[in-house]
Amino acid sequence: MPQYNLSDYQKTYDKFSYDQYKGELDWFSGNRLNAAFNAVDRNAANFRKNKVALYWHGQDDQKQKFTFRELSLLSNQFGNLLKNLDVDKGDRVFFFLPRVPELYYGFLGTLKIGAIAGTLFSAFGHQALYDRLENSDAKVLVTNSDLLPRVKKILPQLPALKTVLVTDLKTATGKFKSLSRELKTASDELKVAHTKPSDPAFMLYTSGTTGKPKGVIHQHYAILHEHLTAKWVLDIRDNDVYWCTADPGWVTGIAYEILGSWSNGASSLIYAGRFDPAKWYQLIDEYQVNVWYTAPTAIRMLAAADHDLTKKFNLSSLRHLASVGEPLNPEAIAWGQKVFGLSFHDNWWQTETGGILIANFPGLKIKPGSMGKPVPGITAAIVDDNGKKVPVGHEGNLAIKPGWPSQMVKIWRRPEKYQSYFKAGWYISGDRARVDRDGYFWFIGRADDVIKTAGERVGPFEVESALVSHPKITEAAVIGKPDPVRGQIIKAFITLKQGVKPSEALKKDIASYVKKHLAGHAYPREIEFRDHLPKTRSGKIVRRLLKAQELGLPTGDTSTLEEY
């Protein structure tokens, strides 16, 4: 029988308290802890000090590697550099960089001095940058010369931004300083801030349907939940090479590429290049990756490009596969079993939750299409709009009992928005779901995405899962479109597999296929073929943008969307 880090889910869940597991972290006197210290410094002081923490692989096959000790010293230097720039506890330091080593040790160094780290996607335009830097009153920004023109365009409107550290700057002028030069003069000995568990550690801006993006703040204590979930859900072990494909501009890249994963002593692969199936398989082969954490969109794209490509590489090192970002269709799970002999394990969480809350654990049976079961320490339920639990199998609001360590502690400068997440003693996620008799949770859709057609409620995810199981479809997204007879009809936006030509006959075939595989009322009455579907940079399909485009509505904040 395989052995897993979480050997008995039910026993652990039933007897769990966070106090039991505080000892898995290193604490300072007076009940103080620092998330970055736990991620790297404690490993730099134990048997892992000379272990590779970071394998960095660049777009053009440049390679670097850093041990835990080297990361510790570099982050110490960065922390001292910030102090030299008069950065104090609570000041905001933002990183506008691609996935380069400076981002990782800089993030750690920021947390070490008690400042708040913020991450920004390198594809952001100047307006998206301005919205976040202005709202946060960031004091320091770290970027590179390629991205600098976007910064210069908005700098006059950012009086709080005192210094711009540029990784590859040759000549320092005014607010612009060379990171490499400044780093050379900074000591690699640093007294790490003994922060309170509740002190803010990092912030991420998340977009909504309307208004400006909101700054979600997480505390240092988040490291406990991130540590435990990296251990139990991702099943990270000491001799593993682990690859999380997320960008640190997204919460997954912080929780499970910097904090929780390194806290468990993982050797992490960071790839700075673009998505390419052959390249990804080459990296798994070259670095002998054991644990792989990626997004459903990437899995679907790999499946679409397969054509026996996997047989050209040695992928036998893979032991555990996991997925996050949006619900994982059963078809993707079946593909993983076929080509790797392994199942992708889906899990559910949000920027606001700071860590995985519901998961398919490696030691539990997978029900394809399910989110899995709650993580030990998490009480999840399906409730109505008044916060009362609904019967098993019924649809409702996915709700969590507040108080887990990685729960957001505030929305920056928006206390009323923060309070709006909580009702009748629950954190209301904004997702609709159901729970079955075995305690597995099933995602239906965002509360504002659920479609009501001819009196029947239809979750977009189940329609999309039926669509992507069609042999000619790669990706699909569905929306509810107003209809004078049915209230709403289902409209599907579809990308086809390579070489498949769109036609009216194919539309009819797809509609019949969904009727047969799902339900007579749950098929798309309109189908539109597209070359690409709009996605966030974390790979999540954005239905609200499709709906806005279809109905001529405001698109809301689109700064986190990939170019397509």
Q: Identify whether 39 is part of a domain.
A: no
Task: Note whether 100 and 167 are within 8 A (CB).
Answer: yes
The phi-psi region of residue 347 (left if phi > 0; otherwise alpha if psi is between -120 and 50; otherwise beta) is: beta
CATH code, domain carrying 484: 3.30.300.30
Q: Identify whether 91 is part of a domain.
A: yes
Residue 195 DSSP code? -
User: Residue range 70-84: average pLDDT?
Assistant: 98
Report the share of the chain in percent with pLDDT over 70. 96
What is the Rg, in whole angstroms, of the alpha carbon atoms belonging to the chain?
23
Q: Identify whether 477 is part of a domain.
A: yes
For all residues of the chain together, what is the average pLDDT?
Answer: 92
Q: Identify whether 211 is part of a domain.
A: yes
What pLDDT does 564 receive? 35
What pLDDT does 458 receive? 75
Q: Which of 79-88, 327-336, 403-412, 421-430 has the lowest mean pLDDT?
A: 327-336
Split at pLDDT 50, 70, 90, the class of 463 is confident
**Strand-pair partners of 348:** 358
What pLDDT does 128 receive? 82
**Rounded CA gap, 454 and 451, in Å?**
10
Tens digits of residue pLDDT in 88-132? 999 999 999 999 999 999 999 999 999 999 999 888 888 889 989
Distances (CA, A) of 555 to 298, 324, 465, 561: 25, 25, 25, 11
User: Residue range 442-467: average pLDDT?
Assistant: 78
Split at pLDDT 50, 70, 90, the class of 239 is very high
3-state helix/strand/coil string of 392-454: CCCCEEEEECCCCCCCCCEECCCHHHHHCCEECCEEEEEEEEEECCCCCEEEEEECCCCEEEC
User: Residue range 375-389: average pLDDT?
Assistant: 97
Task: Note whether 396 and 384 are within 8 A (CB).
Answer: yes
Split at pLDDT 50, 70, 90, the class of 1 is low
Position 75 pLDDT exceeds 50: yes
> Taking the CA of residue 285 as centre, how many other CA atoms within 13 Å lie in the half-sphere pointing to its CB?
13
Q: Identify whether 499 is part of a domain.
A: yes
Q: Identify whether 511 is part of a domain.
A: yes
Split at pLDDT 50, 70, 90, the class of 301 is confident
pTM: 0.86
If one counts the domains in the chain, the total is 2
CB atoms near residue 449 (< 10 Å): 20
Closest C-alpha to 250, from 160, 123, 144? 123
CB atoms near residue 531 (< 10 Å): 7
- In the listed set 220, 240, 265, which residue is the last one of a domain according to the structure? 220
Q: Which of 37-46, 206-215, 279-288 has the lowest mean pLDDT?
A: 206-215
What pLDDT does 69 receive? 98
Q: Are β-strands 63-67 and 52-57 bridged in parallel, bridged antiparallel, or unpaired?
A: antiparallel
- In the listed set 194, 220, 246, which residue is the last one of a domain according to the structure? 220
Q: Identify whether 515 is part of a domain.
A: yes
> Which structural domain, as residue segments, surrounds residue 522?
448-551
User: Residue range 396-406: average pLDDT?
Assistant: 97
Q: Identify whether 174 is part of a domain.
A: yes
